[in-house]
Amino acid sequence: MPAPRRRAAAELVRILKPGIRVALTTHVNADGDGSGSEVALWHLLTARGVRAVIANPTPFPERYGFLLQGNEHADKSGEAVKHLRRADAVVVLDISDVGRLGQLGQVVQETGVPVGCVDHHVSDGALPAGPRLVDAHACATGELVYDLARAVGWALTPEVARALYVAILTDRGGFRFSNTSARALQVAAHLLAHDLDPEEIYREVYAASPEGRVRLLAEVLETLVVEHDIGLAWVTVPTGALERHGVDAEELEGIVEFPRSIKGMRLALLFRSLANGRIKVSFRSVGAVDVAQLAAQFGGGGHKKAAGASLTGPLAEAQARVLAAARDLLRRG
């Protein structure tokens, strides 16, 4: 483990004292890394007498609900504002930008308590003052929570190991992405040694979709547009599609990988309208294309090959702006 991570872990643990109330939170529409990391940290803190709760801006994803089985009381996202306001400390996971907390962003800014952060993204955003365990070289936020536990000598239980394995597995695309490092696989191997069943975890994460997700996928793929000459492909979530198929936004996770999988594509996009009138864009790339740089033009961020941004609408105008920038990036090589 790099020495700076060890020092950062020690700083973070200093504010996580037994008996205090700690609120754990992550970004809007939590993914596997955010969900798994906060569940793992909840178990680690609870075992040490910290009164921890999960307080997210949107409901805990149903897809990762199995991580909370038997401990559903840990999730207080339905009363997130109350629990954030009464917390003695807050830990934000998988983001380091208060803007990604949606309606909870202002609440976190106003708490007046230390706000710790565990994150592996490159971000121009900011959070209120507090200790930071942030390293863009980590494969996932789950790797940093793993390092936190190892640095301070906290034992990994099967529940913690399973949550961290899900965090790393999902953020590395099932270990398919190019930034699946040797250490990511080493950490995953150590986690599996804690009596985990990788096939069971695979079924829970990737093979337990509702019928509505499959029908949603079919409708979204009908919108596919491909520009073969520059290697650009994109899809759009039709208005009302989520409601028609009775699914939540979390079921959109991974759909942008379909346009990215087309031979010759260098950049893939997914557009969808949000309830607040803004347009969410997911960026994915192949090869050397840096989508974090592209997303930053629209106030977003992320990784070199996976990023996101939220723009003002309407949809057609937002698409035109993003597509123009994407074409320019691809044509400049």
- Is the Cα dihedral 82, 73, 23, 107 positive or negative? negative
The structural domains of the chain, ordered by start, are: 3-205 (3.90.1640.10), 211-331 (3.10.310.30)
Extract the tokens encoding 206: 């990737």
| Tens of pLDDT, residues 217-242 | 999 999 999 999 999 999 999 999 99
Instruction: Judge contact between 223 and 236, C-beta under 8 A.
Output: yes
Q: How far apart are CA 162 and CA 167, in angstroms?
A: 9
Q: What is the pLDDT of residue 124?
A: 59
Give the pLDDT confidence of 246-272 residue by residue, as tens digits: 998 888 888 999 999 999 999 999 999
With 0.75 as the threshold, say if the pTM is over it.
Answer: yes
Kindly give, in sequence order, each residue whose CB lies less than 8 Å from that of residue 185, ignoring residues fewer than 6 positions away: 175
Report residues of the chain scoring pLDDT below 70. 122-125, 178-179
What are phi and psi for residue 90, nearest 5 degrees? -125, 140
pLDDT of 190:
97
Amino acid 243: pLDDT: 94
Q: What is the C-alpha separation between 268 and 232, in angstroms, rounded? A: 6
What pLDDT sits at residue 251?
A: 87
